[in-house]
């Protein structure tokens, strides 16, 4: 995505293993409210915040590589022609996202899932916004936003006969991750705070989708606790002792809180993220600007592990579905704990 990365360097290309996909399979979202073997976490698993180990032991592996593959195959199919903002292709992606929301008990936040961007004047553009009310009488008035942008850059000049930039890592991977979280919380409804699931359009045009939503929610005076964004999470980091990094790592205690609830070193610091000020380059930034609450991006793009940024080579076949499922499964206890903690423990320093 254009505003996530200032420059790419010529580093060693890292080969990433991923599950083999079949682009001809039926491209319909699956209702994951059935045929899962999880035992639902109960209130007994919450002691103030959350006992992450109890949740992990009950859920085992909620998301599977097959779950990830199904969504990724659709979002990166040539049928969507690179999901450019305002295109027929991104409209099909929005249809798909809406269907997943509907099938997994995610409500509309506005009058419909689609929220038209008032700041985009060269056509029709819209975020897709879902809502899950909190279950606690008091904490439900506080909101956690889980987001990612679902647009990409559309068509490019021909490269080996291919002109479609399918945007697998950027950012079908983040979109798929957020949809897996929506399926989980929509099923278990174990969220004391309310959750907004936001899939942003026009990120590639200058964070226009997130700017629009942040301003609109600020005008509504919502009580935003934190905004958690997912960007380019389709390929593992190289030679790191953590699986994700956090933009604006040094600005808050979110990494510390994440690692506490993951019960491992899940999130780390990437020097290049600070060097290139990635904190300002993704959809977390407008929420920081409007609300001044912890608003940060989880990512695995480390400047050495992916050489197809904004190229037609950003294909689903290069994504590591096992790794992506691991991200979802490791982050579920973290998100659940943050959403259910009795106080707002994630803070700017």
Kindly state whether residue 15 falls inside one of the protein's structural domains.
Answer: no
Q: In the beta sheet, which residues pair with residue 198?
A: 129, 147
Secondary structure (DSSP) of 173-206:
HHHHHHHHHHHHHHHH---SSEEEEEEES-GGGT
Kindly state whether residue 346 falls inside one of the protein's structural domains.
Answer: no
Dump pLDDT digits (tens) for 240-260: 999 999 999 999 999 999 999
Dump pLDDT digits (tens) for 304-346: 998 998 999 999 999 999 999 999 999 999 999 999 999 999 9
- State the DSSP code for 101: H
Secondary structure (DSSP) of 204-229:
GGTSHHHHHHHHHHHHTT-EEEEEEE
Dump pLDDT digits (tens) for 164-174: 999 999 999 99
pTM: predicted TM-score of the whole model, two decimal places: 0.88
Kindly state whether residue 214 falls inside one of the protein's structural domains.
Answer: yes
Kindly state whether residue 32 falls inside one of the protein's structural domains.
Answer: no
Helix, coil or strand: residue 319:
coil
Kindly state whether residue 110 falls inside one of the protein's structural domains.
Answer: yes
What pLDDT score does 160 carry? 82
Kindly state whether residue 225 falls inside one of the protein's structural domains.
Answer: yes
Kindly state whether residue 53 falls inside one of the protein's structural domains.
Answer: yes
Question: Of 32, 183, 219, whose CA–CA distance to 106 is shortest?
Answer: 183
pLDDT over 90 percentage in the chain: 79
Judge contact between 152 and 84, C-beta under 8 A. yes
Kindly state whether residue 17 falls inside one of the protein's structural domains.
Answer: no
First to last CA, the chain: 28
Domain count of the chain? Answer: 1
List the CATH number of the domain containing 233. Answer: 3.40.630.10
Give the domain range for residue 84. 44-340
Dist. CA 2–CA 17, nearest whole Å: 25
């Amino acid at each position: 995505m254009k505003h996530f990365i200032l420059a790419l360097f010529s580093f060693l290309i890292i080969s990433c293993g991923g599950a083999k996909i079949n682009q001809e399979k039926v491209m319909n979202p699956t209702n994951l409210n059935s045929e899962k073997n999880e035992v639902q976490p109960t209130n007994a698993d919450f002691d103030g915040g959350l006992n992450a180990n109890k949740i992990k032991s009950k859920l085992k592996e909620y998301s599977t590589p097959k779950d990830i593959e199904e969504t990724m195959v659709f979002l990166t199919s040539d049928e969507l022609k690179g999901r450019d903002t305002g295109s027929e292709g991104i409209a099909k992606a929005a249809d798909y996202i809406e269907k997943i929301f509907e099938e997994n008990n995610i409500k509309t936040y506005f009058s419909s899932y689609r929220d038209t961007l008032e700041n985009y004047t060269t056509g029709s553009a819209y975020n897709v916004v879902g809502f899950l009310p909190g279950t606690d009488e008091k904490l439900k008035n506080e909101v956690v936003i889980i987001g990612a942008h679902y647009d990409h850059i559309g068509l490019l000049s021909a490269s080996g006969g291919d002109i479609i930039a399918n945007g697998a890592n950027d950012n079908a991977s983040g979109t798929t991750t957020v949809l897996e979280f929506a399926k989980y919380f929509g099923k278990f409804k174990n969220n004391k705070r309310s959750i907004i699931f936001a899939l942003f359009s026009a990120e590639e045009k200058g964070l226009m989708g997130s700017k629009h939503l942040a301003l609109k929610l600020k005008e509504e005076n919502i009580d935003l606790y934190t905004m958690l964004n997912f960007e380019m999470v389709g390929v593992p980091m190289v030679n790191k002792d953590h699986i994700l990094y956090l933009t604006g790592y040094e600005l808050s205690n979110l990494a510390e809180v994440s690692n506490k609830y993951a019960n491992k070193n899940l999130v780390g610091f990437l020097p290049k993220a600070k060097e290139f000020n990635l904190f300002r380059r993704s959809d977390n930034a407008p929420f920081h600007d409007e609300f001044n609450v912890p608003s940060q991006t989880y990512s695995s793009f480390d400047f050495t592990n992916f050489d197809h940024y904004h190229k037609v080579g950003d294909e689903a076949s290069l994504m590591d579905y096992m790794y992506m499922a691991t991200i979802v499964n490791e982050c579920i206890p973290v998100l659940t704990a943050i959403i259910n903690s009795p106080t707002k423990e994630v803070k700017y320093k």
